[in-house]
Amino acid sequence: MKRFFGMGLIALALAACGNETNPLTGPGSDTDDGASANVNETYKGEMNNLVFDAATGEIIINNLPFDGVDGRYADTGIVTVPGFGVYQSQSTGETGQFQYMAVYAEGTYTRAGAAGTGDYAEFGHGGTMVATNGGNVRLPVLRGELVYTGNYAGIRVLDENAGNDLFLTRGNATLIVDLLDFDVDGAILGTVSGRELLDTAGTVIGTLPGISLNETSIGSDGTVAEGTTTTFDSAGDPLETGNWGGKFAGPNGEEIVGYVIMTGPSAEGSTIDAMERGVFIVVD
């Protein structure tokens, strides 16, 4: 049943836990094997913790209201979002009054997840998480320009009360990287192409414009500075706008994990807005 509750403006706040230590921008030293157990997580939105429970196959999310007393999300079995598992909150008795959905994936050195609900009159609570785990990051600066490819998945919510405003999205993420220019920070930009809209059963119901991940910089610790995103309508005018960012991971910077958060018209000419919270993992 559709909920008609307002929640006010959502503050997309950054809650970063932990820091990378001993970042190396060169090919690495003989004495540092990159095996430190560093974990660096970045959260956007109200969600401030997301973990995978291997014993049950569930994910556990903290700080999203009305998603069940213990925040456990069950695997839906949906396999139409490549590279990602699709999960949903559970309702038992009086708990879990709102229906949340989430996408989650693990790379070799990274984790990523996004969650949201359509049970508010506005965009509702949710968030994104990107994390690197295990080892220091050595950016492959000696290789110069690189191309990373992988999968993108998102949770898309419409700002309306029609009772059908929670969706999944999927796409192909590509990032191009120049670690030799600029002189201090590297440059990075990319796209999400082949973007499709799916219903909550995982069935493709439409296409969406590609996302431009506009150019931003790379810090010496492998952090991708937050940049802007844009989608365009058929006339080439901006449709949805927002932000993206991420992190390099792996002993040789083999992976990049990132998030996308954007809002705008849900379709060309529509008066209904959408918010999409998405994540990606790409590999060189």
pLDDT bin (cut points 50, 70, 90) of residue 135 is: low
Query: Would you list the domain boundaries of the chain?
Result: 14-283
Q: What is the pLDDT of residues 37-91, one digit of tens each?
A: 346 899 999 999 999 999 999 999 999 999 998 999 999 999 999 999 999 999 8
Distance CA 257, CA 243 (A): 14
Distance CA 128, CA 106 (A): 14
Q: What's phi and psi for 29, nearest 5 deg?
A: -105, 165
Q: Are 274 and 265 in contact (CB under 8 A)?
A: yes
Q: What is the pLDDT of residues 165-198, one digit of tens each?
A: 999 999 999 999 999 888 778 999 999 999 999 9
Distance CA 215, CA 65 (A): 35
